[in-house]
Amino acid sequence: MRGAIFDLDGTIVDNMPVHVEAFAVFVERHRLPPLTLEDRRRLDGKRNRDIFPDLFSRPLSEEELRVYAEEKEQLYRTFSAGRLSPVPGFERLLAALEQREVAVAVATSAPPENVVHTLRELRLTDRLPVVVRSDEVPRGKPWPDVFLAAARRLGIPAAECVAFEDAPAGVAAAAAAGMRTVALTTSFGAVDFEAQEVRPDHLVRDFEEFLEGPGRQLLPGTPAPR
């Protein structure tokens, strides 16, 4: 592994419950049906411009997309202030990657304001300077564009990168880019990936389990936790 590419929401940061809260308020305000687990399976990991037409069951203008997305994401930033923490084991894994000079990037569907807010809340801004967003590429997840762009930014072939994701759409995107995939069950369980016919190379609870399992092969010499 020469490169490690991480999704942000639900992968680096344990924030999906906050997004669920924000969406719950949003759909209630707009008198939309509550989001079901099937909705989350279908929509998580995708771009706002793909999510909101689905929620409203109709095409939306660019202005409507902008207004609805900003409303929901402002809810997220308000609700998440002071509440965010990394997924267990992430900081230990990041230190191991830095020690081994493995290049690291973030490939996310989050809008730019959320990326800045979330990384600042986690105090990871300086350690994760390479960020590629889905709104910077032609197609969002489950298409591979954002992962391919992240690999190009790192200057490393996609086949030599490992992608870390929490959503079926994200795992599908990374696999389509030709990367090895690690799925975290922080947001969805194994049954949810199976339901979408998405088969990651490794399925782990969090980064601690990754480091104690497949990470020992991908990152040999990683010390055990004290």
- CA gap 72, 67 in Å, rounded: 9
Say if CB 52 and CB 71 are below 8 A apart: no
- Please tell me the pTM assigned to this model: 0.88
The answer on pLDDT for 42 being more than 90 is no
pLDDT band at 149; cut points 50, 70, 90: very high
CA distances for 167 relative to 30, 46, 109, 164, 204, angstroms: 26, 9, 11, 10, 13
Residue 221 has pLDDT above 70, yes or no: no
**What is the length of the chain?**
226
pLDDT tens per residue, range 49-106: 999 999 999 999 999 999 999 999 999 999 999 999 999 999 999 999 999 999 999 9
Q: Give 225's pLDDT tier (boundaries 50, 70, 90).
A: low
* pLDDT over 70, % of the chain: 97
pLDDT of 122 > 90? The answer is: yes
Per-residue pLDDT at 196: 87
Distance separating alpha carbons of residues 44 and 47, to the nearest angstrom? 9
Out of 18-22, 129-133, 177-181, which region has the weakest mean confidence (pLDDT)?
18-22
Per-residue pLDDT reduced to its tens digit, 183-195: 999 999 999 899 8
The domains located in the chain, with CATH, are 3-14+84-218 (3.40.50.1000), 16-80 (1.10.150.240)
Going by C-alpha positions, the residue among 204, 146, 136, 205 that lies closest to residue 172 is 146
Distance separating the N- and C-terminal Cα atoms of the chain:
25
- With a cut of 70, say whether residue 223 has pLDDT above it: no
Sheet (strand 131-133) strand order: 131-133, 103-108, 3-6, 161-165, 180-184, 202-204
Confidence of residue 224 (pLDDT cuts 50, 70, 90): low
Question: What is the predicted pLDDT for the residue at 27?
Answer: 96
pLDDT averaged over the chain?
Answer: 94
pLDDT band at 222 (very low <50, low <70, confident <90, very high): low
In this predicted structure, what is the pLDDT of residue 38?
A: 84
pLDDT at 37: 83
